[in-house]
Amino acid sequence: MAGASSASSTLFSNPSLKIRRQTILPTNSQLSLLSKLPLSPTLHLLNQPRLRLHHRHDHHNVVFRRNHLVVVSSLDTKPTVLVAEKIGEAGLNLLKSFANVDCSYNLSPEELCTKISLCDALIVRSGTRVTREVFESSGGRLKVVGRAGVGIDNVDLAAATEHGCLVVNAPTANTVAAAEHGIALLTAMARNIAAADASVKAGDWKRNKYVGVSLVGKTLAVMGFGKVGSEVARRAKGLGMHVIAHDPYAPADRARAIGVELVSFVEAISTADFISLHMPLTPATSKMFNAENFAKMKKGVRIINVARGGVIDEEALVNALEIGIVAQAALDVFTEEPPPKNSKLVQHEKVIVTPHLGASTTEAQEGVAIEIAEAVVGALRGELAATAVNAPMVPAEVLTELKPFAELAEKLGKLAVQLVAGGSGVKSVKATYTSARAPDDLDTRLLRAMITKGLIEPISSTFVNLVNADFTAKQRGLRITEERIVLDGSPEIPLKSVQVQIAHVESKFASAISESGEIRLEGQVKDGIPHLTKVGSMDVDVSLEGSILLCRLVDQPGMIGKVGSILGEENVNVSFMSVGRFAPRTHAIMATGVDDLPSNQVLKKIGEIPAIEEFVFLKL
Ligand SMILES: NC(=O)C1=CN([C@@H]2O[C@H](COP(=O)(O)OP(=O)(O)OC[C@H]3O[C@@H](n4cnc5c(N)ncnc54)[C@H](O)[C@@H]3O)[C@@H](O)[C@H]2O)C=CC1
Ligand SMILES: O=C(O)C(=O)COP(=O)(O)O
């Protein structure tokens, strides 16, 4: 059995079907064996190096997994969400109203990789590492990873982006819980609560041993003045502490409003009696608190860490505790979680520890679960989540407004790339947006992504979306530049036109080359429908539905009829025709929209019409 079955999927694998992963298609005997399986599956095979199926919920799928052919029964249309760590009930219920939810906790990395190819979304907390291998194992099906919490250092964001997988987090619902835990650790550490408690329970009554230190009037340095840091600062002020903060990116007015002074890193760590850490773990903050910086601290400083273990060099902290630079430390987070049983740091008598409980209050977990469930459901519906971590955030109203223009952008990209003559190699594309909107009021990232999608998808097996468009373009050596032409007039509609130009290439259809030497297509949205309005230097007007036959011809009577009747004879339905010409009875470009795909025979006949100088058939 290759992997466990999920709530929505029944997996069958049969050792006799075992075939090499490199094999492109199963043999006939393997297929016939498959058809005898209890599900009598409708076989759906993609003739690609890897059999990958996306969003096909209406029949049985056949996929390769772990060198087995696996039949997946997914007869319903709901997506599948794997919840890999416990989240609040309200969030689960919300997910269940929209998706099949598979709650499988404590999966090994191997089990996660096995399961993931059957999942559209994955929800984790800090205990699951979502590695590159997870994205690779998903075979393209995983569309969104939801981090039910703030820190996303356990998710390989680069790999997610490369695989076009959106990562969303729940950045607000556990702020207060984390801040309260920070304050709880601060006070518990100052008054030796944990050790005193253990000692009384062991039958001792050592009132002199557990004398603490007072907080009032002491200086607390809040390192990282974001959501949690600010809430810690607020609470510490209530305890009568003098609060300073260090955060290179925090606005001074927000600090001022709370009565906190923003200071340099060195000033913060060298003047504080207590230091509380609240920055994310990033390459820049990794082991920021190291031997060199401990040496700059005030002797007897006390440290609280509710951020991430990795921001502290734990060995250096043990040493700083030993030599008395650090009097005490209160830690909720560790480089390795859970930390090794014999960890010197955890066992140190001057250290109090909790098992990453910062976000663990009933209230925070309910809030986080709802926050992440909403974000994941939204993402699976195709909406862009406001809490997207690895994609540009495009607000829902902007998305709605730009929808037809995004469709236009993709279609222009798709048409333009089909005009490139073989062997030319597309390297340089320019997108020009003509709009009456001020540049700040028009977010073109979605349009650029859609042009990229249109350009790349027809010529590769790469799936392109807003998440991975820029990455994919860069990886393929495709440079996309953008130009804005600002018009006078009413900015009610976002754009007048979108133009796509491909430079330094030959075209299969010479008339698509503009006077400046690039393949050029331009389009507009008319009554909500994308139209092609320019080919090369020639105006046309073609609604971008179905496929398009572009012909350059001698402008003479009867040409529409001739082309139309050849198509008609072969039962190819014409949806529209548009002719743009240089001057009467010179040359013209005729664009014909067709609902059906003409055969090669039909295209040949059209090409043989004497007045047709060149033609190209473009699929949308
Ligand atoms: N222990 C727990 O259960 C919890 C831990 N956390 C951790 O706390 C961290 C902070 O959470 P939030 O306040 O919600 O995030 P946030 O993003 O609101 O705040 C982080 C702040 O750190 C600042 N920062 C970044 N680099 C810095 C640097 N080199 N030096 C100083 N400041 C720097 C940022 O400018 C930002 O203001 C999270 O990244 C997470 O790792 C959060 C919630 C619960
Ligand atoms: O939100 C965060 O960053 C946290 O560290 C909380 O982690 P958790 O969801 O409790 O595993």
Q: Which atom of ligand 1 is nearest to the CA of 224?
A: 32
> In this model, does residue 371 exceed pLDDT 60?
yes
Residue listed under structure tokens 């609902």: 595
In this prediction, residue 2 carries a pLDDT of: 33
Cβ atoms of 416 and 618 closer than 8 Å: no
In this prediction, residue 66 carries a pLDDT of: 40
Mean pLDDT in residue range 598-609: 92
> In this model, does residue 10 exceed pLDDT 50?
no
Whether the CB of 468 sits within 6 Å of ligand 2? no
Q: Is the peptide bond before 338 cis (omega within 30 degrees of 0)?
A: yes
In this prediction, residue 309 carries a pLDDT of: 98
pLDDT above 90 coverage of the chain, percent: 68
pLDDT in tens, 181-201: 999 999 999 999 999 999 999
Whether the CB of 392 sits within 6 Å of ligand 2? no
Whether the CB of 126 sits within 6 Å of ligand 2? yes
The closest alpha carbon to 469, from 422, 395, 413, belongs to 413
> In this model, does residue 346 exceed pLDDT 90?
yes
State pTM to two decimals.
0.75
Cβ atoms of 402 and 395 closer than 8 Å: no
Whether the CB of 151 sits within 6 Å of ligand 1? yes
Is ipTM > 0.90 here?
Answer: yes
> In this model, does residue 231 exceed pLDDT 90?
yes
Question: Measured on CA atoms in the order 380, 383, 389, 390, is the torsion positive or negative?
Answer: positive
Find the helix or strand (DSSP H, E) in which 412 lies. helix 396-418
Mean pLDDT in residue range 339-360: 98
In this prediction, residue 382 carries a pLDDT of: 76
Cβ atoms of 505 and 421 closer than 8 Å: yes
Please report which ligand is nearest the Cα atom of 311: 1
Cβ atoms of 75 and 85 closer than 8 Å: no
What distance lies between CA 144 and its chain's CA centroid?
7
Q: Which atom of ligand 2 is nearest to the CA of 126?
A: 11
Give the span between the Cα atoms of 49 and 24, in whole angstroms: 5
Centre of ligand 2 to C-alpha 365, Å, is 10
Mean pLDDT in residue range 404-416: 96
Mean pLDDT in residue range 311-315: 98
**Cα angle 31-34-37, degrees, rounded to a multiple of 5:** 160
In this prediction, residue 29 carries a pLDDT of: 53
**What is the 8-class DSSP label of residue 98?**
T
Residue listed under structure tokens 């743009």: 580
User: Higher confidence at residue 475 or residue 302?
Assistant: 302
Report the residue among 176, 267, 279, 360 best suited for mutation to probe ligand 1: largest number of ligand atoms under 8 A from its CB.
279
Cβ atoms of 526 and 409 closer than 8 Å: no
In this prediction, residue 243 carries a pLDDT of: 98
Centre of ligand 1 to C-alpha 247, Å, is 10
In this prediction, residue 381 carries a pLDDT of: 86
In this prediction, residue 24 carries a pLDDT of: 35
In this prediction, residue 32 carries a pLDDT of: 52
Give the span between the Cα atoms of 73 and 82, in whole angstroms: 17
Centre of ligand 2 to C-alpha 355, Å, is 11
Please report which ligand is nearest the Cα atom of 88: 2
Residue listed under structure tokens 């309910």: 366
Give the span between the Cα atoms of 26 and 14, in whole angstroms: 13
Q: Is the peptide bond before 280 cis (omega within 30 degrees of 0)?
A: no
Q: Which residues of 509-522 are buried (b: 16+ CB within 10 A; e: fewer)?
A: bebbbbeeebbbbb
| Amino acid residing at 203 | G
What is the three-class DSSP state of 353?
strand
pLDDT above 70 coverage of the chain, percent: 87
User: Higher confidence at residue 61 or residue 585?
Assistant: 585
Centre of ligand 1 to C-alpha 593, Å, is 55
Residue whose Cα lies nearest atom 4 of ligand 1: it is 358
Residue whose Cα lies nearest atom 1 of ligand 1: it is 358
**What is the 8-class DSSP label of residue 170?**
-
Q: How many CB atoms lie within 10 A of CB 137?
A: 20
> In this model, does residue 259 exceed pLDDT 80?
yes
Cβ atoms of 154 and 126 closer than 8 Å: yes
Give the span between the Cα atoms of 464 and 601, in whole angstroms: 34
Q: Supply 376's token pair.
A: 């994941």
Strand partners, 136: none
pLDDT in tens, 530-558: 999 999 999 999 899 889 999 999 988 88
In this prediction, residue 37 carries a pLDDT of: 44
User: Higher confidence at residue 365 or residue 491?
Assistant: 365
The closest alpha carbon to 285, from 312, 317, 304, 267, belongs to 312
Residue listed under structure tokens 């505790």: 321
Q: Supply 578's token pair.
A: 């548009």
Q: Supply 464's token pair.
A: 């392109």
Centre of ligand 1 to C-alpha 151, Å, is 8
Mean pLDDT in residue range 371-397: 83
Q: How many CB atoms lie within 10 A of CB 597?
A: 12
Give the span between the Cα atoms of 584 and 590, in whole angstroms: 14
Q: Which atom of ligand 2 is nearest to the CA of 151?
A: 3
pLDDT in tens, 130-148: 999 999 999 989 999 999 9
Centre of ligand 1 to C-alpha 21, Å, is 43
Reported as a pLDDT band with limits 50, 70 and 90, residue 486 is very high
Mean pLDDT in residue range 577-590: 83
Whether the CB of 365 sits within 6 Å of ligand 2? no
Cβ atoms of 468 and 519 closer than 8 Å: no
Mean pLDDT in residue range 323-338: 98
Q: Supply 482's token pair.
A: 């953008």
In this prediction, residue 43 carries a pLDDT of: 35
In this prediction, residue 76 carries a pLDDT of: 52
Whether the CB of 499 sits within 6 Å of ligand 1? no
Whether the CB of 278 sits within 6 Å of ligand 2? no
Centre of ligand 2 to C-alpha 172, Å, is 11
In this prediction, residue 383 carries a pLDDT of: 73
Positions marked catalytic: 308, 337, 356
Mean pLDDT in residue range 12-37: 41
Cβ atoms of 312 and 287 closer than 8 Å: yes
**Cα angle 582-503-550, degrees, rounded to a multiple of 5:** 40
Torsions phi, psi of 46, nearest 5? -100, 130
Please report which ligand is nearest the Cα atom of 283: 1
Average pLDDT, the chain: 87
Residue whose Cα lies nearest atom 26 of ligand 1: it is 279
User: Higher confidence at residue 491 or residue 361?
Assistant: 361
Please report which ligand is nearest the Cα atom of 127: 2
> In this model, does residue 19 exceed pLDDT 70?
no
Mean pLDDT in residue range 290-312: 98
What is the three-class DSSP state of 29?
helix
Report the residue among 222, 231, 278, 293 best suited for mutation to probe ligand 1: largest number of ligand atoms under 8 A from its CB.
278
Q: Which atom of ligand 2 is nearest to the CA of 333?
A: 5
**Cα angle 318-323-327, degrees, rounded to a multiple of 5:** 75
Whether the CB of 224 sits within 6 Å of ligand 1? yes
Reported as a pLDDT band with limits 50, 70 and 90, residue 384 is low
Whether the CB of 229 sits within 6 Å of ligand 1? yes
pLDDT in tens, 58-94: 333 444 444 344 444 444 579 999 999 999 999 999 9
What distance lies between CA 183 and its chain's CA centroid?
34
The closest alpha carbon to 324, from 298, 308, 300, belongs to 300
